[in-house]
Structures are given as structure tokens and as C-alpha cells.
């Protein structure tokens, strides 16, 4: 299996991403003293960075890997919304964003010193979309959905991926399209009839209301998710343990983590669903796509913040591999 060649096949492949978009703000600096006003450190900011997050980070990963992402979501009609559109343009993301006067752009501000996060401040709205906003969302999705064979639903619980939207989308999508969903626990009961879901261990446990402590629990949870939500396949990310890939008719496979160092797991799930979906769009099977995604996630956790991975980074690592370790856990 030539994984570097498989990764290069993703160049030019198209993916539609629908979901909750946010702006990540990093204020980096140094701590030299404690505040006289309260027993807290004073961070002297020396650098400020803005990055696109949520569904936007999924689109960023697709674009950096050479894919062609189209992104649909909602943001405020404010300065931060303008920042999002500028970043998308710079990344080469075809952004079809709804600009709303009724809600602010989701902004997550991280105060950092010496590579350590000191504080996070969130500005966001997770209320349901207003009727007019929801109608505009459907118009944008309706105009694009027939143009793609692979579609990502990126649910961060901010209002785009709702029970109402999922019911409409299940009727609107074309037969045979591969829909891959990154879930949020609050919406778990509404997910159904999808090609694949990519929950982490916590989301799988909370979504199915069962504890997960080891291999047998992961297998049982995965079987329940596939049966209960009518999925064709499933990928459960396991953090430091890698990921489990569920392929009915073929088996359950464990891919051990490829991370050599871990600084920040922020955005690793976005990288996984981006690479899995881009692989599927390029004609790769799910297991091969998951192996590539496992490698990509192992690279991004070595960076601080939600960052993407380039085609050069991925193929450079894959080119040094002589073997790919994966284990069949069970039949399915």
C-alpha cells in the first residue's frame, strides 16, 4: 500500500462542508508579574493570530491538502464575520456564508503564555436560527448539494445542524451521496441514515448513554451506534489510543496513534473528518482514508491551536513509512 500516492490522489477532490463556523483568536505573550488587583498573572501580549475554527477548520484542512472545499455556514454581520470571509479567501475556500444581523460571530479567544493556555473567553450564540435565517440556509444548501458526492456535516451545537435541518437534508440529498458527520452529543438522537459518523470516545459514550472503559466497550458502543442510527460505517477516535474503524461485512479495525508529540488536541477531530472525507471523494476506501486521517491527526496535535496540514507534510511523513500497523479487533 503506497500511502503517499494515495494521499496525492486527494488533490483536486471536491467536498461540501455544512456546519458551525467560528473564529479562533490567539493572544500570545509573556508573564512577568502578578496583578496587584487580584492573584492572577498579567500576560503582556506580543502577538495576535486569527484562525478559522469549527466547520471552517475542516474546510481549511481540505484546502491545505489540495482539495476543493465549499463551505456553508452562518456568522455575524460584524468585524469578526469579515475576518472569517477574508481568511476563507486567503485559504482558497469557496465560502457561502450567511451574514446575520441577529447573531454575533462565534469567537473563541485564547490567552497564551509560554505555549500554555492561561484563559479562554467565548462569545457565541447557540440559539436556533431565526425563521428567515433558516430559510436562507436551506437556499444555499439546496443550490450546492447536487454538485458533490461527499458532504460533511460539522456539528458544534451552534444552530446550523439542527433536528429540523437534518430532517430536511435527509429528504433533499441524492441517493448514493456519502454524508460524513462529526457529531455533537446534544443532537445525537437526530442523526440517522448517514454513510459515516466520527465521534470521539466521550461523544460515543454520552450519545449512547453507556460507559466506555476499554476495547469491549468501544466495540459494543460502535455496534449500537451503527444499528441505532442506521449508519453504513463508523469511525470512533480514541485520543492517545488512535481510532477504531467499523466496516460492516469486513470487521472492526484498530489503528494505533501515530502522534510522536502532543501539544494541543484542538481541531484534531476536524482534521480526521476532513481527511476521511477527502479520501472518499478521491475514490479511496474508508479504511485507507482512515489510515491517512490517523496519520494527519498525529501531525496536527504536535502544533498549538487548530491548524491544518499540508499535502507536503502528510506525504513527507507517509513516504518514510515502511509498514502500516492496524489490527482487526472483531468481525462485524
53-79 pLDDT, tens digit per residue, is 999 999 999 999 999 999 999 999 999
The strand pair at 41-54 and 196-197 is best described as unpaired
196-245 pLDDT, tens digit per residue, is 999 999 999 999 999 999 999 999 999 999 999 999 999 999 988 889 99
239 neighbors 256 (Cβ within 8 angstroms): no
Least confident stretch, 2-6, 39-43, 47-51: 2-6
| Cell numbers representing residue 191 in the block | 442523526
Examine the pLDDT at 19 and tell me if it is beyond 70: yes
Which segments within the chain are labelled E, that is strand?
Answer: 14-19, 21-34, 41-54, 68-76, 94-100, 107-113, 116-123, 150-154, 178-182, 196-197, 234-237, 243-247, 251-255, 327-330
Query: Mean pLDDT of all residues in the chain?
Result: 91
11 three-class SS: coil
H/E stretch holding 217: helix 215-229
> Above pLDDT 90, what percent of the chain?
78
d(Cα 197, Cα 204) in Å, to the nearest integer? Answer: 10
- The residue among 1 and 309 whose pLDDT is bigger is 309
Size of the chain, expressed as the number of residues it contains: 332
- The residue among 116 and 30 whose pLDDT is bigger is 30
d(Cα 266, Cα 241) in Å, to the nearest integer? Answer: 16
Domains of the chain plus CATH, in order, are 3-22+53-107+125-330 (3.40.1190.20)
The strand pair at 116-123 and 107-113 is best described as antiparallel
d(Cα 220, Cα 227) in Å, to the nearest integer? Answer: 11
176 neighbors 204 (Cβ within 8 angstroms): no
CA 240 → CA 201, 235, 261, 262, 312, distances in Å? Answer: 11, 15, 10, 9, 24
Residue 257: pLDDT band (50, 70, 90) is: confident
Sign of CA dihedral 115, 118, 123, 127: positive
Active site residues: 270
Q: Which residues pair with 75 in a beta bridge?
A: 99
Amino acid at each position: 500500500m503506497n500511502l503517499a500516492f494515495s494521499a496525492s490522489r486527494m488533490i483536486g477532490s471536491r467536498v461540501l462542508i455544512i456546519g458551525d463556523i467560528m473564529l479562533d483568536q490567539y493572544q500570545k505573550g509573556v508573564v512577568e508579574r502578578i496583578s496587584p488587583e487580584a492573584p492572577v498573572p498579567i500576560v503582556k501580549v506580543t502577538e495576535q493570530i486569527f484562525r478559522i475554527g469549527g466547520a471552517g477548520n475542516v474546510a481549511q484542512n481540505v484546502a491545505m491538502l489540495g482539495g476543493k472545499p465549499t463551505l456553508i455556514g452562518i456568522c455575524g454581520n460584524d468585524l469578526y464575520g469579515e475576518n472569517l470571509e477574508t481568511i476563507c479567501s486567503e485559504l482558497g475556500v469557496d465560502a457561502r456564508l450567511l451574514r446575520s444581523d441577529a447573531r454575533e460571530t462565534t469567537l473563541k479567544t485564547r490567552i497564551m503564555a509560554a505555549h500554555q493556555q492561561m484563559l479562554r473567553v467565548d462569545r457565541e450564540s447557540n440559539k436556533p436560527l431565526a425563521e428567515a435565517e433558516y430559510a436562507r440556509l436551506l437556499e444555499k444548501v439546496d443550490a450546492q448539494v447536487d454538485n458533490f458526492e461527499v458532504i460533511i456535516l460539522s456539528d458544534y451545537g451552534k444552530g446550523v445542524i439542527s433536528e429540523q435541518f437534518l430532517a430536511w437534508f435527509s429528504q433533499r440529498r441524492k441517493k448514493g451521496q456519502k454524508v460524513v458527520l462529526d457529531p455533537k452529543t446534544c443532537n445525537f438522537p437526530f442523526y440517522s441514515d448517514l454513510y459515516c459518523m466520527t465521534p470521539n470516545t466521550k461523544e460515543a459514550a454520552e450519545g449512547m448513554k453507556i460507559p466506555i472503559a476499554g476495547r469491549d466497550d468501544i466495540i459494543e458502543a460502535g455496534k449500537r451506534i451503527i444499528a441505532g442510527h442506521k449508519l453504513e460505517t463508523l469511525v470512533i477516535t480514541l485520543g492517545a489510543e488512535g481510532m477504531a474503524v467499523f466496516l460492516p461485512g469486513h470487521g472492526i479495525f484498530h489503528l494505533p496513534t501515530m502522534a510522536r508529540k502532543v501539544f494541543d488536541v484542538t481541531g484534531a477531530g476536524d482534521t480526521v473528518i476532513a481527511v476521511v472525507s477527502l479520501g472518499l471523494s478521491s475514490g479511496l476506501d474508508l479504511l485507507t482514508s482512515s489510515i491517512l486521517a490517523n496519520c494527519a491527526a498525529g501531525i496536527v496535535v504536535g502544533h498549538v491551536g487548530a491548524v491544518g496540514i499540508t499535502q507536503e507534510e502528510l506525504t513527507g511523513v507517509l513516504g518514510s513509512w515502511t509498514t502500516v500497523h492496524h489490527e482487526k479487533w472483531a468481525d462485524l
